[in-house]
């Protein structure tokens, strides 16, 4: 297995819809293992393929750490290939989120309480499940990565202004992380 460098929010791969995954995609099993290893190394609860620069509709989660409450769904490692999410209960609730592609930024995000997810597991068996609470939140966050959406997109203008400086530091490669970030392309700095 290998630990993969994580790209940050300013990488265009995080802004485009990911490609469907084919069962005979070369090296898929190893790639999934690498995603898990990278996620655990970074103490993340979820990691989507585009976050390591690979535009595929695939993410992994291990939400055990944050769903300890026995009232909540509690789930260990999961692989979600070609997922589709439908909102079941549109009532939204606020909670703080972070993202490995947005180091050092945590903000409250409003998300629907209950969702239905249809996906394939690593053996390409199809599943359909309903989830609520924290687990539903993690799934929605990771699913967003597959359609070019980041949690900062949900913030109001005021909160966006407050994190502008932190975002700029991340973009310039000055963020300090305990996990490996993909290097910034030097010399090809785009003007804004
Ligand atoms: Ni994320």
> For residue 4, is pLDDT > 50?
yes
Strand partners, 97: 107
Q: Any idea which residues carry the catalytic annotation?
A: 142
Residue 159's H or E segment, with its range, is helix 157-162
Distance (Å) from CA 98 to ligand 1 centroid = 7
Distance (Å) from CA 149 to ligand 1 centroid = 9
Higher-pLDDT residue of 154 and 74 is 154
d(CA 30, CA 34): 6
Distance (Å) from CA 127 to ligand 1 centroid = 23
Distance (Å) from CA 151 to ligand 1 centroid = 7
Query: Please, what are the domains in the chain?
Result: 12-171 (3.90.45.10)
Write the CB contacts of 95 (distance below 8 Å, at least 6 apart in sequence): 108, 109, 111, 134, 137
pLDDT in tens, 73-117: 557 889 999 999 999 989 999 999 999 999 999 999 999 999 999
pLDDT in tens, 29-63: 999 999 999 999 999 999 999 999 999 999 999 97
Judge contact between 112 and 90, C-beta under 8 A: yes
Q: How confident is the model at residue 70 (pLDDT cuts 50, 70, 90)?
A: low
């Amino acid at each position: 297995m290998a630990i993969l460098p994580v790209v940050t929010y300013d990488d265009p791969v995080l802004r485009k819809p990911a490609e469907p995954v084919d069962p005979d995609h070369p090296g898929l099993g190893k790639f999934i293992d690498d995603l898990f290893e990278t996620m655990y190394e970074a103490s993340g609860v979820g990691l989507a393929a585009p976050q390591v620069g690979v535009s595929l509709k695939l993410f992994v989660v291990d939400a055990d750490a944050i769903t300890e409450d026995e009232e909540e769904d509690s789930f260990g490692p999961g692989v979600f290939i070609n997922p589709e999410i439908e909102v079941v209960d549109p009532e939204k609730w606020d909670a703080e989120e972070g993202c490995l592609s947005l180091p050092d930024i945590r903000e409250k995000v409003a998300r629907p309480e209950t969702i239905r997810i249809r996906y394939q597991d690593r053996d390409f068996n199809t599943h359909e499940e309903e989830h609520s609470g924290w687990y539903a939140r993690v799934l929605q966050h990771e699913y967003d990565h597959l359609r070019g959406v980041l949690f900062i997109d949900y913030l109001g203008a005021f909160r966006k202004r407050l994190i502008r400086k932190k975002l700029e530091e991340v973009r310039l490669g000055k963020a300090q992380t305990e996990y490996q970030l993909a290097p910034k392309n030097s010399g090809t700095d785009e003007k804004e």
